[in-house]
Amino acid sequence: MTETVRVRGEAEPRPETDFHIHATGASARPRHTLKHDDTFAVVDSHGDIGASAGGPDGVFHADTRYLSRLELLLNGTELLLLGSNMRDDNSTLSIDLTNPDIYRDDEIVLPKDTLHIVRTMLIWRGTAYQRIGIRNHGSQPLTVRLSLSFANDFADVFEVRGVRRMRRGHSEAEVRGRDQLVFRYLGLDGRERVSTLSFDPAPAELTSRQAFYDITLGSGRRCSIFFAVTCDRLEDRQPGQFFRGMIGSMHERKRAARDTTAIQTSNELFNQVLCRSAADLSMLMTRTPQGRYPYAGIPWYSTTFGRDGLITALQMLWCDPGMSLGVLRRLAHYQARDVDPVNDAEPGKILHEMRAGEMAVLREVPFEQYYGSVDSTPLFVMLAGAYGERTGDDETLRALWPNVEAALQWIDKWGDRDGDGFVEYARQTDKGLSNQGWKDSHDSIFHADGTLAEGPIALAEVQGYVYAAKELAARAARRLGEMALAAALEAQAARLAARFDEAFWCEEIGTYALALDGQKRQCRVRTTNAGQVLLSGIAPRHRAESVAARLMLRPSFSGWGIRSVARDELRYNPMSYHNGSIWPHDNALVALGFARYGLKEPVERVFRGLFEAATYLELNRLPELFCGFRRGPGRGPTLYPVACAPQAWSAAAPFALLQASLGLWFSPEENEVRLYNPRLPPFLEEVVVRNLRLGKASIDFAVRQHRNDISLRVLRNEGNIRVSILYG
């Protein structure tokens, strides 16, 4: 998910035009994120916006920043941080502050730790709410001046990322009465964007830049100030609706979780990892006209991404099949119907990314509705087929079938332009992404000597996705009565498997090549792409065993996880985006591939590494990626500076790793759940799965590890689901 144009502070323009995210300096304060639907906020540890260097701060809505500065001061002085806490369900952020020693004429007039100030923040339906609670713990009454400073730039999210613009629209600020300030921006796209700042009670003084409160508090007394930022709506919205928003947000999260599977284990730390992952996924889920969709990540990817949504839904399919519905319906709705070179679109192709910001509308960046993804289309077919097999929901499958057929036609016609049986990519204009697989950095596809591969490029894992798509589509077609199509798809999948092994296997490195370049030369580089090949089942068993063995050697396995590129490859860089870093979702997909072939020992090692990495990370949250340095004793993994956190497919990774360990398989027709070769990692003695749904039935069961054996107990069974363990 990278994209490079020239950025501020860069000495020379890069030769590529990918859109890279630049890190220009260290964060002076840690950052926190909140989100609801299309609105999110990034604030620092004090609850401020733009008051400290190094963060993409702001209140954002629909790819535009609606507040670029917010700073709270007491008597013109910065407050001291006591601590900050995010609720377990991500609904609110609470920040505890106190006053420093405040002097007048070299005398302390307010000793430190006299005032306790709590900033509580939440986002609900396009409004960012904040309650500032103040309590006097001193023995005497006191009077202080509290100020809020604010500003807005209505910057497009790509501007915040570093893209320079030659021209911008017109902005203005208007104070309305004693308790409201309105920022307006008329963009070059002709659209007016509006931020409304509301205060309750009204401040003593309000300007276009600051609000001042003169507060007198007796000993032990307290007061509250409510502040709200509303995006684009001009109706009178009272900031005092903070509590209504808090209650509404909590109720919505509870309703969304009502029918989902709950998991509890014998390891309390892992329970916290699961809790945070579930909360992050809930926060990233966004209401759209086609259903709820997991937006990719905050801050850079808070929008619809095809690949990310599909992979997240695939990872969660076993425990939350409802997520797949929104993903499939939304991507079907936006499936390309025409040839559009600017957007890399062809009939049947599935969306890569969509943006609503000014720069996308004006085509300053090519992402309003952009289709430059080679894997989203086969992944769409995979998810549709897998969803049908997980749920037995033939009605939805039948409704999506025209989209599935269009996607299959794209694979055969547009995806394989030279007719060699492999799906390749090459951008249609120089404004598109140069690499269009999940490793989409400009330098991520290369040969063993370090030279970049020239297209059209056929990625190893994409051929696996195509194989799995045709296998799953064949079974779906048979269920829908399309027998001739089913037979044709099965034959195509078999031919692809044979051709793939011949073209991609590289005995020299003992694994599959990363890719074939435009001259059909192998990129003989050891990468996790080969591990993702196993997810599809396209590899013969002896090849799968070799791939797994190579990935678990020290050049690839860091101790925290598998590096995207092995450390003895020429372009390896543990601090890079794709050439040696560790991606949790990538590791989870590789682990699912291992499990498919019954290779549970490497599943266990990957699972353990990522879990132990999470225990070192803030909120026990797995980020988008972290650096690929070798694990050392007594210290945690090294963070990647501009990684998104939360990120949807990373949040889904622990659930996918559980599936890989348990070997779960579902048959709605037979009302059966099977566990193939289940094996728990050493840090888990027991896993309890509750409310696992199969059609209209549901079951609770517990799996326990006893040295080399597994026991299974059914705790509740509504609908007579049959559950069993199978080995072999």
DSSP state of 150: E
Mean pLDDT score, 600-612: 98
706 DSSP β-pair partners: 709
SS3 of 172-225: the string is: EEEEECCCEEEEEEECCCCCEEEEEEEEECCCCEECCCEEEEEEEECCCCEEEE
Strands 505-506 and 511-512, by their bridges, are antiparallel
List the one residue out of 13, 138, 52, 34 whose CA is nearest residue 89: 34
Cβ neighbours around 32 below 10 Å, total? 21
Mean pLDDT score, 226-230: 95
Block residue for tokens 């709200």 = 228
Question: At the topology level of CATH, where does 31-251 sit?
Answer: Beta-galactosidase; Chain A, domain 5 (2.70.98)
Peptide bond into 141 cis (omega under 30): no
Cβ 407 vs Cβ 381: under 8 Å: yes
Mean pLDDT score, 423-451: 95
Digit-coded pLDDT (tens) for 273-288:
999 999 999 999 999 9
Q: Determine what percent of the chain is predicted with pLDDT higher than 70.
A: 95
pLDDT for the residue numbered 6: 31
List the one residue out of 257, 232, 359, 353 whose CA is nearest residue 302: 353
Of the listed ranges 84-88, 309-313, 650-654, 659-663, the one predicted with least confidence: 84-88
Torsion-angle region of 635 (φ positive above 0: left; ψ -120 to 50: alpha; else: beta): beta
**What average pLDDT does the structure give for the chain?**
93
Block residue for tokens 């549970």 = 600
Give the C-alpha distances (Å, rounded to integers) separating 4 from 67, 77, 325, 559.
25, 40, 34, 32
Cα distance between residue 353 and residue 1, in whole Å: 9
Cα distance between residue 698 and residue 718, in whole Å: 5
- Tell me the residue type at 174: E
Peptide bond into 402 cis (omega under 30): no
Secondary structure (DSSP) of 25-77? S--SS-EEEEEETTEEEEEETTS-BSSSSSS--EEEETTEEEE-EEEEEETTE
Structure tokens at 92: 């609110």
pTM given for the model: 0.94
Burial grade of 695 (CB within 10 A; 0-12, 13-18, 19 or more): middle
Cα distance between residue 213 and residue 473, in whole Å: 64
Cβ 654 vs Cβ 276: under 8 Å: no
List the one residue out of 134, 136, 117, 139 whose CA is nearest residue 47: 117
pLDDT for the residue numbered 9: 32
Query: What is the Cα 9 distance to its own chain's centre?
Result: 28
Query: What is the Cα 243 distance to its own chain's centre?
Result: 28
Secondary structure (DSSP) of 293-311? EE--BTTTB-S-BHHHHHH
Helix or strand (DSSP H, E) at 593? helix 584-596
Helix or strand (DSSP H, E) at 132? strand 127-136
Mean pLDDT score, 391-395: 97
SS3 of 441-461: the string is: CCCCCECCCCCECCCCEEEHH
Length of the chain: 728
pLDDT for the residue numbered 728: 81
Alpha-carbon torsion 532, 555, 1, 271, what sign?
positive
Structure tokens at 449: 């000597």
Digit-coded pLDDT (tens) for 235-270:
555 666 888 888 888 888 778 777 789 999 999 999
Burial grade of 480 (CB within 10 A; 0-12, 13-18, 19 or more): middle
Alpha-carbon torsion 307, 310, 314, 316, what sign?
positive
Cα distance between residue 33 and residue 174, in whole Å: 28
pLDDT for the residue numbered 435: 96
pLDDT for the residue numbered 236: 53
What is the C-alpha R_g of the chain?
Answer: 27
Say what the alpha-carbon torsion angle 611, 617, 622, 625 is, to the nearest 10 degrees: -110
* Residue 453 pLDDT class (50, 70, 90 cuts): very high
Cα distance between residue 633 and residue 616, in whole Å: 13
Secondary structure (DSSP) of 232-251? S--S---GGGHHHHHHHHHH
- Tell me the residue type at 452: L
Cα distance between residue 472 and residue 531, in whole Å: 20
Torsion-angle region of 66 (φ positive above 0: left; ψ -120 to 50: alpha; else: beta): alpha
Digit-coded pLDDT (tens) for 311-363:
999 999 999 999 999 999 999 999 999 999 999 999 999 999 999 999 999 99
Cα distance between residue 277 and residue 289, in whole Å: 25
Cβ 456 vs Cβ 424: under 8 Å: yes
SS3 of 455-481: the string is: CCEEEHHHHHHHHHHHHHHHHHHHHCC
Give the C-alpha distances (Å, rounded to integers) separating 334 from 327, 349, 351, 619.
11, 9, 7, 35
Structure tokens at 593: 């591939």
Cα distance between residue 312 and residue 278, in whole Å: 12
Mean pLDDT score, 107-134: 95
Digit-coded pLDDT (tens) for 484-511:
999 999 999 999 999 999 999 999 999 9
Block residue for tokens 């906020």 = 41
Mean pLDDT score, 64-68: 98
Structure tokens at 116: 């306790």
Cβ 183 vs Cβ 195: under 8 Å: yes
pLDDT for the residue numbered 1: 56
- Tell me the residue type at 283: M
Query: What is the Cα 622 distance to its own chain's centre?
Result: 10
DSSP state of 619: G
Digit-coded pLDDT (tens) for 611-654:
999 999 999 999 999 999 999 999 999 999 889 999 999 999 99
List the one residue out of 403, 415, 410, 406 whose CA is nearest residue 333: 403
Secondary structure (DSSP) of 351-392? P-EE--SHHHHTTSSS-SEE---SSHHHHHHHHHHHHHHHH-
Cβ 609 vs Cβ 657: under 8 Å: no
